[in-house]
Amino acid sequence: QSVLTQPPSVSAAPGQRVTISCSGSSSNIGNNYVSWYQQLPGTAPKLLIFDNNKRPSGIPDRFSGSKSGTSATLGITGLQTGDEADYYCGTWDSSLGLLYVFGAGTKVTVL
Partner 1 sequence: QVQLVESGGGVVQPGRSLRLSCAASGFSFSSYAMHWVRQAPGKGLEWVAVISYDGRNKYYAESVKGRFTISRDNSKNTLYLQMNSLRVEDTAVYYCARVGFVGAIFRTFDIWGQGTMVTVCS
Residue 72 Cβ vs partner 1, minimum distance, rounded to whole Å: 13
Distance CA 65, CA 105 (A): 16
Residues making contact with partner 1 (CB under 8 A) = 2, 32-33, 35, 37, 39, 43-47, 50-51, 56, 86, 88, 90, 92, 96-105
- Minimum CB separation from partner 1 for residue 36, in Å? 9
In the complex, least distance from residue 63 CB atom to partner 1, rounded to whole angstroms: 14
Task: Report whether 105 contacts 67 (CB < 8 A).
Answer: no
**Which residues are CB-neighbours of 47 under 8 A, at least 6 positions away?**
35, 36, 37, 56, 59
